[in-house]
A and B are shown apart, each in its own frame.
Chain A
Amino acid sequence: MNAATETSESFVAPATAPRPVRPFYWSVMRELWEHRSLTIVPLVPAGIALAAVLYASIFNSHDVALLGQVPPEKLGQVATVAYGFIAWAISLAMHIAVFFYLLDALQGERKDRSVLFWKSMPVSDSTTVLSKLFTALVVSGAIVVVVSVAAVLAVLLLASVVMLIGGVNPVPLWTGSQLLQTTVAITYWQISIALWYAPVAAWLLLVSSWATRGTFLWAVGTPIALAVFERVAIRTSYLQSLINARLADPVLARFETVTRGAQLTIRTDEGVKAHGIPGNVLDGLDPVAFFGNPWLWVGLVVAAAFVAAAIWMRRYREPI
């Protein structure tokens, strides 16, 4: 962003010609180094899923026998449901990690005074702030997709081995599942979540850019206080309905249509039921409605304003 284009010619010849630089890339790397929770937290649900399958196959051989009773054409649906559920859990864990990451993103560097080091480097405030937003919205989504794919492959491989040992044919588990479609769906949901919740992320970044302490209280308390003020003083509740509409949005609800089936009865006396799954996972997606929703674009404009304010604060605020 602020690459070497602006370097003025020095009359003191530099020892070496200026090298090409990638400030944005390395700023994102810095975020991942500093906030290891972003890479560790999503591994937790993946690990739990794997451990659960392992545990069940060792200590609950009854479950494996149950799988043998499932009609082969339904086995693939079990795999799809499991995939959706694992991805949902990983995504949820990542949202929590990103929430706290954003609250710390611009406050932490002021608290440990390292902002003075970062500012001694030729990386502009906009590059820094945008790299943080990018990490929260794009990198986190990419991590969710990659970890989900790895987790479901590991779980299915493990399940296949267990089934082979138990004398059940695992092939339908793979052939009948919608692994590819579900991966596309998960990627789409990560993108839509990033776009829909961009104003929330930008708000957290803004709070982090100016609050000296109590970022959580400021982030949550300010909208509540404003909504209460509006209700008492003006006797309307526009802000509250705006916030409600944003947070309780169909985006998350739609994400659950794939995962809902996972809460199904994996263990009943009749065996595994796998109902409630759409014939094709991708049928559950409606990009036209999503991108046609004017509130999406209103939210993005608000996000841009919050980010601009955060960039200004990064420039202006001093170490705590």
Chain B
Amino acid sequence: MSANTTTPDSAPVYAIEARGVRKAFGKTVALDNLELRVAEGRIVGLIGPNGAGKTTALKAILGLTPYEGELRVLGRNPYLERNAVMQEVCFIADVAVLPPWLKVSQALDFVGGVHPRFDRAKAEAFLAKTNIPRDSRVHKLSKGMITQLHLALVMAIDARLLVLDEPTLGLDILYRKAFYDTLLNDYFDHNRTILVTTHQVEEIQHVLTDVMFINKGRLVLDCSMEDFESRYVEVLVRPEQTAAARALKPLHERQVFGRSVFLFDRPDRDKISGLGEARTPSIADLFVAMIGGQQGAAA
């Protein structure tokens, strides 16, 4: 299709590379010159408030929607070369979208019949660990079971990029935890790339290798988790030192039980050590600090 297809010699360093990607619906700008790079072998959390452009960005990456600007997924144009891209990319889109009439056995037959990288034995092995009856239809399964089924199908596909859009929405905490544990233990192998969006940020903090914030169609944070820990510091400041803390230009200040919590970006560690108890903030805290103020919305 395009002249610029990937060959083994010029394999892409980035699983996803977006340069100046723009998408507008009428006057609403969903993606505003989005710049984004996801290296291969990373687990990236894409966090943003509602309407920030998350879903539009994922749709563009998955070739589901046209866009302006330059976007490469595994070295290809996802919109023009969608069929080729989908051989190596898999996704679970927001809530369960498996058709209600589909039988579990039919799902295995279909995916096995159309996907060249599907390993049926793997999917069967995963399903054997669940209580999902092989001959039941999707509409007879509980929401948790539907997610398990979808996960079983997706994890048995040897994809290079897996995109998860709110994969655990509406699941209880046990299923959510099991979902991410399975993903991490049985699927991720440092060759694959996973891009995940969720509102339950705290639950995936330990899973991620990178975190990105998106707001108003732009990337406002792109940080590896190692950098995150060395870069951001949250300090519980003693009341008498709040003025001194403010002088160090904190990113954000909030009140917890009558005491002030300051969040610093790359602070002078010596100076803040005297202010009070310091710790690494959670992603959610940083999100509120960076976006909550302007938006009034929490992660």
Q: Do A and B bind each other?
A: yes
Q: Which residues of A contact B (CB under 8 A)?
A: 2, 4, 6-12, 14-16, 18-23, 25-27, 29-30, 33-34, 109, 112-117, 119-124, 318
Q: What distance in Å separates the Cβ of A177 from its nearest Cβ neighbour in chain B?
A: 40
The answer to whether B110 touches A120 (Cβ under 8 A) is no
Is B133's beta carbon under 8 Å from chain A?
Answer: no
Question: Which chain B residues in 78-114 approach chain A with CB under 8 Å?
Answer: 81-84, 86-88, 90-95, 97-103, 106, 109-111, 113-114
B106 touches A33 (CB 8 A): yes
Q: Which residues of A contact B150 (CB under 8 A)?
A: 117
> Bound state CA distance, A27 and B109, in angstroms?
11
Instruction: Kindly report which residue of chain B lies nearest to residue A115, judged by CB atoms.
Output: B97
Does B238 touch A at the CB level, under 8 Å? no
Interface of B is mostly: loop
User: What is the total number of residues of chain B having a CB less than 8 Å from a CB of chain A?
Assistant: 49
The interface stretch among B3-11, B209-217, B257-265, B271-279 is B3-11
Q: Is the CB of A22 within 8 A of B83?
A: no
Whether A12 and B114, one on each chain, are in contact in the complex, defined by CB atoms closer than 8 angstroms, is: no
Chain A residue nearest to B90 (CB atoms) is A120
C-alpha gap A26/B113 in the complex (Å): 6
User: B84 and A112: CB pair below 8 A?
Assistant: no
Q: Are B102 and A14 in contact (CB under 8 A)?
A: no
CB distance from A40 to the nearest CB of B (A): 13
Contacting pair B113 A22 (CB below 8 A): yes
The CA-CA distance from A119 to B6 in the complex, in Å, is 22
Are B87's CB and A4's CB within 8 A?
yes
Complex CA gap A23/B6 in Å reads: 24
A12, A18, A19: which has the most chain B beta carbons within 10 Å? A12
Contact B83 A116 (CB under 8 A): no
Tell which of A8, A10, A113 touches B76, judged by Cβ atoms closer than 8 Å: A8
Residues of chain B within 8 A (CB-CB) of A20 are 116
Contact assessment for B110 and A26 in the assembled complex, using a CB-CB cutoff below 8 Å: yes
Smallest distance from the beta carbon of A14 to chain B beta carbons, Å?
A: 5
A117 touches B114 (CB 8 A): no
A18 touches B114 (CB 8 A): no
A114 to nearest B CB, angstroms?
A: 4
Choice from A9, A14, A25, A26 contacting B7 with Cβ under 8 Å: A9
Q: State the B residues within 8 Å of A (CB).
A: 5-8, 11, 40, 62, 64-65, 74-76, 81-84, 86-88, 90-95, 97-103, 106, 109-111, 113-119, 150, 154, 158, 160, 191-192
Closest to A118 in B: B99
Q: Are B106 and A122 in contact (CB under 8 A)?
A: no
B47 CB to nearest chain A CB (Å): 21
Q: Please determine whether A21 and B98 come into contact, CB atoms closer than 8 angstroms.
A: no
Minimum Cβ distance to chain B for residue A294 (Å): 36
Inside 8 A of B111's CB, which chain A residues have their CB? 121
Residue of A nearest to B116 (CB): A18
Q: How far is the CA of A116 from the CA of B90 in the complex (A)?
A: 11
A124 CA to B83 CA, complexed, in Å: 6
Q: Which residue of A lies closest to B12 (CB)?
A: A11
Closest 3 CB pairs of A and B: A26-B113, A18-B116, A114-B99
B5: chain A residues at CB < 8 Å are 8
Q: Select A15's contact among B7, B94, B158, beta carbons within 8 Å.
A: B158
- A26 contacts B109, C-beta separation under 8 Å: yes
Indicate whether A14 sits within 8 Å of B117 (C-beta atoms), given known contacts A6-B84, A7-B87, A120-B86: yes
How far is B171's CA from A164's CA once the two chains are assembled, in angstroms? Answer: 66
- Cβ contacts A to B, 13 pairs, < 8 Å: A7-B84, A7-B116, A11-B8, A21-B115, A21-B116, A33-B102, A34-B99, A34-B101, A113-B97, A115-B97, A120-B62, A121-B115, A122-B114
**Given A2-B83, A29-B109, list of 19 further CB < 8 A pairs?**
A7-B116, A8-B5, A8-B6, A8-B75, A11-B8, A14-B158, A16-B158, A18-B116, A27-B114, A30-B110, A33-B102, A112-B99, A117-B93, A117-B97, A119-B62, A120-B86, A121-B114, A122-B87, A318-B65
